[in-house]
Each structure stands twice: as C-alpha cells, then as structure tokens.
Structure 1
Amino acid sequence: MQSSSELFPVALMSAELRGDLSEDVYRLKPGNSTDPSVELALTRLGRSGQEAKRGVPVILLHGSFSNRRFWYSPKGIGLGPYLARAGFDVWIAEMRGHGLSPRNLNYRQNRVADYGRYDLPAIAAFVCEQTAQIPHWLGHSLGGITLAAALGGHYLGENEVASAALFGSQISRVYWPLKVPPVEWGGRLLLKRFAALSGSRLKRGPEDEPIGLALESLRWHGLFGRFGDSERDWWAGLVEVGVPLLAVGAVGDQQDPAWACRKLLEQFGSQTREFVCLGKKNGFADDYGHVEMLVSKHAQREVWPLVGHWLRQLQLPVGLKQS
C-alpha cells in the first residue's frame, strides 16, 4: 500500500493494534544517496482510538548493534510506548540493515556519514510532512552520535529539529593505541577482511554492524582524526547549532563515560543546554550503566518521566540541574 507522501516512495508495511497502542510501520525509499537501494523502516506509535489526536512528534534513534526493540518491546514496554501513552507522536527509526530495514546493496560501506547526510534528513522530511510539526529527537549511543553528526554537518537544522536529547553519546574518549599510526593501519587491514561485526558474537546486541562504521571510527580516533568526513568538520560545526539540547551520562557507563558526554554537550552553541549524570551521588536510585540508563526498572521510574518533562518544558525538573 502506498502512503500519501509526495516526497519519495513510502510503503505502509503494516497497521496494527497492540493492546492500547496503535502501530504503523512504514518503509521509506528516499533515493537521495549514492546507493539507491537504501530503504528505512520507521515505526509510528500512538494511543489506540486516538490516532486523530496525536501530539508532538518525537523521533527515537537506536544505538549500535540494536534496533527498534531497544525502545519498544513486544510486550509494549519501553520509552517509546511510555511517550506514546503520555500523548506524544512517537516515531522509531531503524538504520540501514537493522530490524525491519533491509540491508542495502552497499551495506558493507555504510557509515555515520551516510546516516547523517542522507537518512536522517529523509526521516525528518517524512515526519514533518505527516505531522505538520517539527519533531524532537532522542538518540542513544551511536544514535546520538549520528544526530550530532547531522547537526554539526548542517544536514539537519532548526526547521527539522525542535530539540535534541543525547543519551550515552560521546566522541571524546581517547584510545591511545590508535594514536600510533602502525596500530591504526594494522586495525584497518584486519577489519577490512570482514563485511560486518557480529553483535551476537561480540555480546553487544542482536544486530550486526557494517564494517564501514568501524573503519570510520578508527579514522576519527587516529592521530590526526576528527569527528567529520572528508568534506565537513562536524565537531567544529556544532558550535553553530542552536537547538535546545539535553545530554545524559551515567556514573556506571564504562563505554561512554559521563565526562565525555558532557564534553559533547559543551561543544554545541545552544543557549539551552542541560546535562544530567545518572548516579546515586546525584540523587538517583542507581549508578546507571550504558543500557540501563534507558532500559531498566529504575529507568522506568526515574529517567522516562525526566524525558517526558524535558520534551514538554525543554528544561529539567527543579532540583535536577547540575553544574
């Protein structure tokens, strides 16, 4: 079934009721990149029976080795359903080759540069067309890095992003061995033997990641590396980004430490910038980890309401502001 989009081909793959939620799954074929085979799955969640009263749109971006189930379990639990039940119009994107998005022809070469330059703008255009509103964006880990790349590269701007929330996302952690050129070169030679990294074998998650992402990360963290591509310095571009911004780190996050998440926040030029470090020393029930900051019993009680408050007020609840 063809959607009503006038932007590019969009197929409505399914329209189902999941208990008290409505679930529409779209497949976008924007045809805006060097690989015309790219198709992107986008799941829309709302309250069953109230589809005509959808609220403010929010786009959720999963991290590496993940898919839409990070936000939305088969039992209807997750930040996605929480926000939908709170009245938000929730859109859950799945990157190339993840979840319901098929692997594109050049899957092996997929990079954050492609996601930020081509895929997120296409998702933004479709959501804006369908809702007639500017969406809020929330990314976890690599999802947040991809959102930062799109903003810093000026592929997304204030006409597509009402606010941005970055959970466990950073680019400043230093991997000293990669600063030694022979080590980086050896890593490249080794990785180029593979088409993808297996999330299940590495015990990182249910999905694979294309080797292009790993090679791109090696370049970022090399001796003369930078957060950007051959055309644009995304890190430098963040200074010109003015959208309201929330960054969240966690005391127990060993993968993306809180200090580095805060450094990413501070690079933005936004006048409205808020930072939260989830840990007992700041009044939270747990020293949250990288995944637990959004997927845990404590997160349901403490973090999800915080997200809802931010999306409504674009500021943290009284008592949570951290210097």
Structure 2
Amino acid sequence: MVKYGLTHSIPIAAILISPTQQSLFIPYRQGQLHLRYIPAQTSHKRLTPILMLHGAMSNGRVFYSDSGRGLGCFMAQQGFDVYVLDTAGRGKSTPLIDKQYELGQGEVIREQLPLVQSFILKRHPMTSKVHWSAHSWGGVLMASSLARFVDLQTSVASLLTFGSKRTIKIKSLRKWIMVDLFWNRFAPFCVSRQGFFDANRYRFGMDNESHQSLHQSIDWVRGEWIDHDDQFNYALAAKSANWPSTWFIAGENDTVLGNPSDVQDMMAECGLQQAKYTLLAKKNGYLNDYGHADMLTHKQANDDHFMQIKKWYLELSD
C-alpha cells in the first residue's frame, strides 16, 4: 500500500486495561499510534474484525468506554474483534498535538489507515478483510483512503459511517455559528496564535487539531476533494473505485455537522447511489431523533439501531 507498511520485526507494545480491553501501540514515525483492542466476548464462529475511526476534534473514545459502553464494546459483545484507532497526536497516540506538530489529514489517509489495516490483517491470518466504521470526518478520511488504494478496496469488507459528510451546503443560523464563525474563523485565529487548535483549553470536542488538519478540512468542506500534499484527485478516483458494502447513517437532529442532505451529497459524490442509507428518526421507527454525537453515545442506542448494525455485520459474514 505505502512505504509505512508493517513488518513482523516491529515490536508492538500492549497494555492490559481490563479483562475485556487492551491498548496496543504501533510504532509510527517518531511516535506511536494507539489502538484500543476490544476482543470478541462470545464463542461465535470467527467473524471479520472491525476497525473504527473518530472524526475531527475527537478520538477513539467516541466508540468505547472503560466501563463497556459504546458501539465498539457492543460489537465485541456480539462476537467481533474490535479495534479503535486514535489517529496520530490524539487520544493515547504520541506525540500529542502541539505547536510543533506538522502532520495533517493526508498522513491519516495515506499512511495511518493502511498501516493499521496491515497490522490487523497480520493479527488475524484466518481472514483477508476488515470492516471499517467511522464517525463524522473519519468517514471522509476512510472513504479517501479507500478511493486511493486499490488493495484496500479488496481488503475492506464494508464501510459504515455515522454523520459523515465532505461538504456542508445547508444554510442556517446554527451552521453559521458552528461552521462559518467557529470552525472557519475562530479556530484558525487560535491556530495563528498558538500553532495548533487547543480544543481541550476551550472545552470544544474531545481532542486537539493540528494547524494542518484544521486548514485542510476547512478547504475540503468548502472546495475540491483533492490531496493538499500531492494533488491526488479523490473525487475522480471515487467514481471508479470498487467500493465494498456501504452504509451511511444520519440523524434527524444532526442539523449541521452531519446534516442528512450533506450525508446524501457525499454518497452521490462517491458514486454510491445504491448504498444503504438510514435516517435515525422517530418517524422511521427509532426510539429517538438522534444527533451528531448521541447516535453513538445514547443510552438507548444498544436496543435501537445498534441491533440493526449487528444484524448487518452478521449478514455480511455469512
């Protein structure tokens, strides 16, 4: 895939968090990537493992908790081995983002996702594929990596996204405040003074953003789907990609960051008109009108759409 492919000679550090969770650390550049490994907790037949990816200003915690809540823990309880990635600089991956940090979203697409995919496949020699799942901007990064690398298209079993959009075309007061004012103006102003966006300091989101990833994501939301580093045209590649089984999930109350119309725009841009699409709304029979974060964190999710996700994954495994 890329020159950062994993070899068996690279030592992998592991820390046992609990009987049901483990932190794995993969050497990457001058630091290491953190993967929270949640092993299958049932004796079902061997199922395809799942890799989960967070979005912007976030980390892997959106998918799990130490107490066993979240989609990652739920899927492990259903018999799947689950891996949740903290992209470089976030969560427990090191070094953490600061004013000297130079990596952006391109390294996630071109290096980190292929590296982790290779790592998981080596840990599971009885399978040739991995399910991919992402929240918010993580879905854009996973789709970009899939569109770019043909070998990933053959080794990724499915792509499941929650509130993922590449562009934000809706217009509203909330959108102006959250995107135009905060993300496009306030955050870059902070970066110009600090060298990175210190989301922890301002109590926004779950994690910090580098100056590169911030500006690159702003450009993509407003403009073309083209790599900032080498000008690779993802939009063009997506049209001819051999996509795996794909499911886009949106929330009725996700009015800005994953507005259903913007989610559907991303599906069309990828050429995925036949992909599965679900709107989590009471009018469609769900327990709640879900928002951007609580579609993954709501206490009723286990008994609601998580059950449908379990069924979908099991059907793909048959």
- Measure, in 2, the Cα distance between the counterparts of 1:189 and 1:17: 41
Report the residue type matching 1:12 in the other structure: A
Higher normalized helix content (fraction of residues): 2
| 2:171 matches 1:173 | no
Letter in 1 for 2:248: A
3-state secondary structure, aligned to 1:200: helix
* 1:244/1:272 contact within 8 Å kept: no
List alignment gaps of at least 5 residues for structure 2.
1-5
Number of aligned positions between the proteins: 295
2:113 pairs with 1:113? no
CA–CA separation in structure 1 for the residues paired with 2:55 and 2:12: 25
Matched residue type, 1:114: E
CA RMSD of aligned residues (A): 3.0
TM-score of the pair, normalised by structure 1 = 0.81
* Alpha-carbon distance in structure 1 between the residues aligned to 2:139 and 2:26: 21
Q: How far off its partner does 1:220 sit?
A: 2.1
Q: Which runs of 5+ in 1 are unaligned?
A: 31-35, 316-323
> TM-score, length-normalised on structure 2?
0.82
Say whether the 8 Å CA contact 2:188–2:197 is kept in structure 1. no
Query: Does the 8 Å CA contact 1:109/1:212 hold for their aligned counterparts?
Result: yes
Give yes or no for the alignment of 1:218 onto 2:218: yes
Is the partner of 1:173 in helix, strand or coil? coil
- The equivalent of 2:268 in structure 1 is 266
Partners of 2:187 and 2:26 lie apart in 1 by 35
How far residue 53 of structure 1 moved from its aligned partner, in angstroms, is 6.8
Q: Measure how far apart 1:175 and its partner are.
A: 8.4
Give the Cα separation in 2 of the matches to 1:14 and 1:185.
40
Aligned in 2, Cα 1:25/1:54: closer, same or farther, shift over 3 Å? farther
Tell me, in whole angstroms, the C-alpha distance in 2 between the residues paired with 1:263 and 1:49: 38
User: Following TM superposition, by how much is the alpha carbon of 1:172 offset from its aligned partner in structure 2, in angstroms?
Assistant: 2.0
8 A contact 2:54–2:135 mirrored in 1 = yes
* Alignment partner, residue 232 of structure 1: 232
Which secondary structure does the structure 2 equivalent of 1:294 belong to?
helix
Q: What SS does the aligned partner of 2:250 have? A: strand
Shift of 1:43: 1.9
Residue of structure 2 aligned with 1:77, choices 69, 74, 88:
69
Structure 1 residue corresponding to 2:54, chosen from 42, 46, 62: 62
Segment drifting more, 243-252 vs 6-15: 6-15
Q: Give the partner amino acid of 2:26.
A: L
| Alignment partners' CA distance in 1, 2:145 and 2:73 | 26
* Structure 1 letter corresponding to 2:296: L
1:129 matches 2:129: no
> What letter corresponds to residue 227 of structure 1 in structure 2?
W
1:239 positional shift:
1.3
| 2:24 matched residue in structure 1 | 26
Residue in 1 aligned with 2:3? none
Among 130, 138, 154, which residue is 2:133 paired with?
138
AA in 2 matched with 1:70? V
Summarize the Cα distance change of 1:55–1:186 in structure 2 as closer, same or farther, 3 Å threshold: closer
Q: 2-side partners of 1:276 and 1:172: how far apart?
A: 19
CA offset digits 1:218-271 (Å, max 9, x no partner)? 32245xx31121421112221122211100111111222011111212233458
| C-alpha distance after superposition, 1:119-173 (max 9, x if no partner) | 0000000111111221000000121111011122237622321110111110121
Secondary structure of 1:293's counterpart equals helix
Following the alignment from structure 1 to structure 2, what is the Cα–Cα distance between the partners of residues 156 and 126?
Answer: 14
Taking structure 1 as reference, are residues 118 and 156 closer, same or farther at Cα in structure 2, changes over 3 Å only?
farther
